[in-house]
Amino acid sequence: MRNETSGAALRLLCCLSILVLVPAARAQNVLVDPAEMLGTAKRIDFVGRNDFSVEQTAQGAVLRSVPHRSASGLYKPVEMNGRELTQINWRWRVDRLHEAADVRRLQTEDFGAMVMFVFGHPSLMNRDVPTLGYVWTSTPVRNETFLHSQRYGALAYVQLRGRGDVGRLREEIRDVAADFRAVFGTEPGALKYIAVFNDNDQTNEPASAVFGPILDLRKKAGGR
């Protein structure tokens, strides 16, 4: 009887171990979970303060960002070789988008949503580190258009979505390393941060967006 009890206990322990390991394996490909960023990321309020909140959806938890004549971002430290950013995946949705925004002009540079990959540590001595932002804006250009920031020389954008996609959950898969080479003409260095951002401090028009997890699809559940 004692041996049977010991065997049952061992089997139960093994089962519990598997239950613990499975979620961990599934989480291996998550680079950033925006729903957890409020507690783990560095918040930067450039102008005023956005409202950040976590919402539950059919696809899981997401982060909502609503600016109020403000510009705020959440920056999550990530240490990764930039050349490995070949299959990066995320879902996002913009529910309210500025009508007058156009990121080609400083006076109307507002973003409905932006996912940024920062290749360096910004500092007082070096604020302008290579940064690639995937954006959802009202700028009247075709999706997939590369744009250069009017504010920072080492900041570039890829416009993925515009007015026609407002209110729709969209999924992206990007070769960030290839996009970096196309924009900057060189190989990406070490990735230091992934950030989510939106603002309306230029147009003062309403904006609201949600961000889902940012994944590395090269890393499969249970291994690479």
Position 132 in a domain: yes
User: Does the structure show a pLDDT above 70 at 6?
Assistant: no
Domain assignment present for 196: yes
The answer as to whether 105 is a domain residue is: yes
pLDDT of residue 219: 77
Taking residue 146's Cβ as centre, other Cβ atoms within 10 Å add up to 13
Domain limits for position 65: 30-216
221 is a domain residue: no
pLDDT digits (tens, 9 = 90+) for 137-173: 999 999 999 999 998 889 999 999 999 999 999 999 9
| 13 C-beta neighbours (distance < 10 Å), count | 10
Residue at 8 is within a domain: no
pLDDT number for residue 124: 59
- In the chain the first and final C-alpha atoms are separated, in Å, by 43
Read off the pLDDT of residues 182-214 as tens digits, 9 standing for 90 and up: 999 999 999 999 999 999 999 999 999 999 999
CB 84 within 8 A of CB 218: yes
0.95 cut: is pTM over it? no
Q: What is the CATH number of the domain that holds 87?
A: 2.60.120
Residue type at position 178: A
Judge whether 224 lies within some domain. Answer: no
With contact defined as beta carbons under 8 Å apart, do 112 and 98 qualify? Answer: yes
Asked if residue 20 belongs to a domain, the reply is no
Q: How many domains does the chain have?
A: 1
